[in-house]
Structure 1
């Protein structure tokens, strides 16, 4: 088999494994480009985090995915089926392949937990016995055994979100859309809900697309991350790589709350003048982050250096290190060359007249 045919077969297989595929999707509201040429894929069984500030285009993207908004141009395919030209009647069966969980739960207050969970199945025409049996199975799955007869007013925020997740899973969807599902919850409850989503992903092989403005959510459970800014994708990749070496300024800003940052009292001393000590940001990830970088630097860098701040984290079972190093200004280039030899990325943040 020739190389061209092999490549075509591989590409066809990849397309079949894509639950979501967007190609050059655009949507404008007046003069504002909510989506400006967005192309992305979500593979079967993966968790993709889509992150951005308010107004980045996240809500428009999710509404286009479930057919509530129609893009001005571009292609959206769910499980290989193009949806942009479908009418409302044709969209209905497709929407049943998409589960949705919301920031504010969207439960019916007059219905019990089991009735809320079973509601999509009632709409589909399931018999009462079958839908209540399915609801009981899902209530147990999300950790709410014994709460079937409770009403939403009797539940905590975290329990309400568990009901929302169970309801989203009722029709065995191929794709679960999570729209800021944890932003109304406290940190402890957020962690519990994210753990539940990851557990469901593993047990059911469910594909999940997370829309969020919280990097910690992405860090906790996503496999890949896509960063949106003003309707455009500015960065994407495996979570650990993006967190280790963010390239876009938007990503760096969003990560500033959870990555080590140069302490403020040192930042205030930074000047552009290339004398005294240079303060360097050093990023290193993967096996190199736990390797002999500092031992080698100590052995080979005769000018001396000081570790000012930083440390090593672990994301997706990969070590991710971020350090702030002070070196004599005249030795900056030598230090950078040596550190890069060991797989580090080095950025000159500024200089201080004396010790930082």
Structure 2
């Protein structure tokens, strides 16, 4: 049984929510190489949507197509209901002002003060100086840098520079905020503070955020939904808690390996397909079963029927998500089957990983 908790069991975006982004069979090639190979997805107003994949998967091309810097070779890209794939450069300019962009390396102008960097998009639009500076100060307060208005970028830490970059991206009051690996150059503590800021901005402004990243921890911390991209294709998509609880593809499992419990290396190294003293089983659960007395009940029904090897419980989008590894003795040929039957009847996803002959 692969399902865990029905989507109706948790808070979801209303079905009628307006799509700020809608992609239909988007393709982009460089020579004979497909960078995007039929991408289709929708992102609702006010949603934080994560797009994750390894280097070269197509993430950067996708984000450049979203902001109009790259032209798709096929398909449609709709931003706030307007198909941008057919627009000329002149018509794209006002649409780009509806899209804010945060960069990995900040891209601040070193010769301009913090408030001048933030006000730059409004200056390009032709806004009056008073309006520009008032907006810059408002945004500095929002990102927690009110005392840095007259400072220059060289005097700022990496986290402060990214806060300025976020403020600048918000200057023109965009409907969509694109984040291109915005935290990958930052240390873990600073990354957490930047993600918390983005979540706060999303909540206060109702702003739609698209995160491009190769870090599952970023997705886990902030995103509502996630799409996994590999070789220019979306290979998996869903609510973050659901994808973490039940990854369907090898690439998703690989991306999750650093933050989901994994079988300890010394045990994994000695597993074989030849029958040994114990069979090692992985158990994945989500929702109420992940918090319940599953193993207590199993021990009561099958005393001495298993031992817990490794695992733990996490909470993602307020949903408990658990992964455990158990060892079941093979001396009773029916025991492993009974354990698996018990677990799957309680909505666990069970996988036999192999046999361990070395455990005493």
Confirm or deny a common fold (TM above 0.5): yes
Structure 2 counterparts to residues 1-356 of structure 1, below 5 A: 17-302=18-303, 304-329=305-330, 330=333, 331-355=335-359
Matches of 2:298 and 2:92 in 1, distance apart? 60
The aligned length equals 344
Matches of 2:159 and 2:304 in 1, distance apart? 55
**What is the CA deviation profile of residues 10-34 of structure 1, one whole-angstrom value per residue up to 9, with x for unaligned ones?**
xxx9677000000111111112111
Superposed displacement of residue 245, structure 1: 1.3
Matches of 1:27 and 1:287 in 2, distance apart? 43
Superposed displacement of residue 354, structure 1: 3.9
SS of the residue aligned with 2:204? helix
Superposed displacement of residue 251, structure 1: 0.5
Unpaired stretches in structure 2, ≥5 consecutive residues: 1-13
**What is the CA deviation profile of residues 100-146 of structure 1, one whole-angstrom value per residue up to 9, with x for unaligned ones?**
00000000000000000000001111100011000000001000011
Q: 1:93 to 1:15 in 2, by over 3 A?
A: farther
Unpaired stretches in structure 1, ≥5 consecutive residues: 1-12
Superposed displacement of residue 299, structure 1: 1.7
SS of the residue aligned with 1:172? coil
State the partner residue of 1:5.
none
SS of the residue aligned with 2:87? coil
Matches of 2:155 and 2:63 in 1, distance apart? 30
**What is the CA deviation profile of residues 50-92 of structure 1, one whole-angstrom value per residue up to 9, with x for unaligned ones?**
0000000000000100111111110100000000010000000
Matches of 2:336 and 2:270 in 1, distance apart? 18
Contact 1:139 1:148 in 2 (8 A): yes
TM-score (normalizing by structure 2):
0.94
Matches of 2:148 and 2:301 in 1, distance apart? 64
Superposed displacement of residue 287, structure 1: 1.1
Matches of 1:242 and 1:159 in 2, distance apart? 32
Superposed displacement of residue 246, structure 1: 0.8
**What is the CA deviation profile of residues 237-295 of structure 1, one whole-angstrom value per residue up to 9, with x for unaligned ones?**
11111111111100000111111110011011101013321000100011110012112
RMSD: 1.2
Contact 1:15 1:80 in 2 (8 A): no
Contact 2:17 2:44 in 1 (8 A): no
Matches of 1:341 and 1:15 in 2, distance apart? 35
Contact 2:228 2:237 in 1 (8 A): yes
